[in-house]
Amino acid sequence: MTVQSDARTSELAIWNDLLIDDTAARHRPEHQHGALTTHADVLCRLGIIDEGERVEMQELADARYSAATD
């Protein structure tokens, strides 16, 4: 594995851990959504993910926020 691949794996694991964090969704859904969105944007700017992946991650973050605030 390359350093880029290791970084991608680690960063996506961190992002997914936050996505599935029920405590964050229940108590601070706005913070969770903002953190997910910002993280995805930074990963895209750094070239770790591409724009299509960023859009998919944004959709997942939006869906999580919607579910948490219903």
Number of domains in the chain: 1
Residue among 5, 29, 4, 6 at smallest CA distance from 18:
29
Please report, for residues 26, 38, 59, 64, the alpha-carbon distance to residue 69 in angstroms, rounded to integers and kept in the order given: 8, 19, 15, 9
Tell me the residue range of the domain where 43 lies.
3-69
The model carries a pTM of 0.92
Residue among 25, 14, 18 at smallest CA distance from 49:
14
Read off the pLDDT of residues 29-66 as tens digits, 9 standing for 90 and up.
999 999 999 999 999 999 999 999 999 999 999 999 99
Q: The tokens of 16 are what?
A: 């997914």
In this prediction, residues 17-25 reach a mean pLDDT of 97
Residue 3 has pLDDT above 80, yes or no: no
